[in-house]
Amino acid sequence: MKKRLVLIFTFVAINFSSGCSQAPISNSRQTEAPIVLAVPELQQSEKPNTPVEEVLENLEKLDQSFNRIVFSLAKVLIILLSLLVIQRIILLIIFRTSQLIIHNFTNASGAEGMEFVLPGLSQLARERLVKEMKGVHQRLKEHIHSSGLPTYPPPDKLPLPQTTPDERLSNLVASLNEFTPEQIDPLVNLLKMIFPVYGTKVTSILQSQGEDYRRLGITFEITDIEGRVASKLYTIWEEKDTETVTPTEVKTASDEEVELPIVDSGQVKDRFRLLLKPATRWLALELSRREMLSNVPWYYLGNWSKRYQAQIQNFFGVINYASAPTHGSFFFQLAIEDLRAAIELDPNWYQPYENLGDTYSTQGREFQGSRRFNLQRQAILQYEKALVRCEDQAIRRRIKVGKAMAQLLTNDQIQIKEAQKEIQLLEKQWNAQSDLSSRFLYNFASWYAIFTAQNNGEEETKLKARRYLLYALLRDSDRNLWEWANKDPDFQSVRERFTDLQFVLMKKLNEFPDLPQMTGPKFVKHVGEILKEMNWT
């Protein structure tokens, strides 16, 4: 009962307090009501959070801090990547080099089975081309060093032949277009226009004359990638003496018909491989020439520019002339064209005339009769033009010896007597023991060797030819003449046991290293000892 009373009393008290709180208040206390009501709300806002709310709030702050760190790192990474891209572009621009694109051979010869060997033949051609171009650049360096002429300095690194151009800069620019804003895309594309791929492209085609492959050839089309230099198209054909006999019907003395063996595909492949030697030689010379002509210094104007180009044409004329005996007689015609171009550019320079005379004279030795006579006369005319334009007495002596050799080779008695008088006069005015010019001494020896052959091995002139040849070989410090003299047809009648001679010369030079620069009686004494050891006296 008491418990019930307590519960009723409690219930009444609660209701009473609720009613009092909802009862209206007087006007005098209305201004204080907002203040009384605001205090509980302020106290409620300052009420401490629960642990769960604190954890959530801390996580939110941590997430915000983490996002700020990530965005900062991303900005730094973007800046670094941008710098790397800029550096990459700068390096590609600075170290951008001339490219040499050599496409694989295309078979237009009609020979069966050539498609299978085209990749190997193309790679072999590239290897030979690198070797030939290295040789050309080495010759150019030696020419600059020996002559002192301000000709074009070749680069130390040769462009490696490749099948496709280097598109790294273009690919990088194309990739940048996908990430850069559209507003700066034109600026990025300008990089490809300002710094395009440059160099040379070579297309190679295998050719043949006749269905029976009577004569094979290789056609090269050389094109400048930027179009700054005119294109060149040239075909290198087999020499006539290397033509393969083709199937045909002939009649013998007994009127029996005989069919010659058919040329199979294996023979055609081997002939194309042999043809690579002169073909890559020509290509190496032509590519080097185009490289030099396209890099004429901008400050060479007027006559300076013409003289500069004349030096280039003269240099390649000499190399073509030297290539003819080992790579094919068609190089003689190439040399003549180059030397005539040099004369047209600088008609007052003696050297192209002298070299043109050497070319005509050497080419004429391959023929007989009227053609040989005409070529030697052409050589004599060129030597005379060179003499008119040359004032250096040492060079004039060299030109006179070249002219005298051409006069000998005409087989005209009037010309031969004139040549003899010229040589005798030169010997009186010249001291052979003190002359250090190996080329001049070599030419002098050649004249006496030719004269010896024409006079059935006359002993006196043979001894002079051998003596002057020793002078030339001893003076030749680079020993380039050693190899050439061994196969020079002019010395066929006087170079007996030439291998033994080289051994004796090496032995003497090892004992006396200063012999190439030695002059006077000491030099003559050593030469006499060599002649005695070779039994050439």
Alpha helices by DSSP H, listed for 101-196, are 118-147, 168-179, 185-194
pLDDT at site 305: 83
pTM given for the model: 0.72
Q: What is the pLDDT of residue 138?
A: 81
Instruction: Compute the distance between CA of residue 34 and CA of residue 383 in angstroms, rounded to an integer.
Output: 127
Q: What is the pLDDT of residue 177?
A: 66
Cβ partners under 8 Å of residue 508, min gap 6: 515, 526, 529, 530
Q: Are the C-beta atoms of 465 and 494 separated by less than 8 Å?
A: yes
Looking at residue 240, the DSSP 8-state letter turns out to be G
The one-digit pLDDT tens for each residue of the chain (537 residues) are 444 444 444 444 444 444 444 444 444 444 444 444 444 444 444 556 687 777 777 778 787 888 888 888 888 887 887 788 777 777 766 766 777 888 889 998 888 778 888 888 888 998 999 888 888 888 877 776 665 555 455 554 556 676 666 666 666 666 766 666 665 667 666 666 666 667 788 999 999 887 778 889 999 999 887 777 788 899 999 986 543 333 333 333 333 333 333 445 568 888 999 999 999 999 999 988 888 877 777 777 778 888 888 988 999 999 999 899 889 999 999 999 999 999 999 999 999 999 999 999 999 988 888 999 999 999 999 999 999 999 999 899 999 999 999 999 998 999 999 999 999 999 998 888 888 889 899 999 999 999 999 988 788 999 999 999 999 999 998 888 888 888 888 888 888 888 899 999 999 999 999 999 998 889 999 999 999 999 987
Cα 244 to Cα 161: distance, rounded to the nearest angstrom: 32
Provide CB contacts within 8 A for 401, sequence distance 6+.
423, 426, 440, 443, 444, 447
CATH fold group of domain 296-430: 1.25.40
Please report the pLDDT score of residue 404 as a whole number.
95
Q: Would you list the domain boundaries of the chain?
A: 98-241+264-294, 296-430, 455-537
Give the pLDDT confidence score for residue 117 in this predicted structure: 86
Does residue 216 contact residue 272 with C-beta atoms inside 8 Å? yes
Q: What is the DSSP letter of 322?
A: H
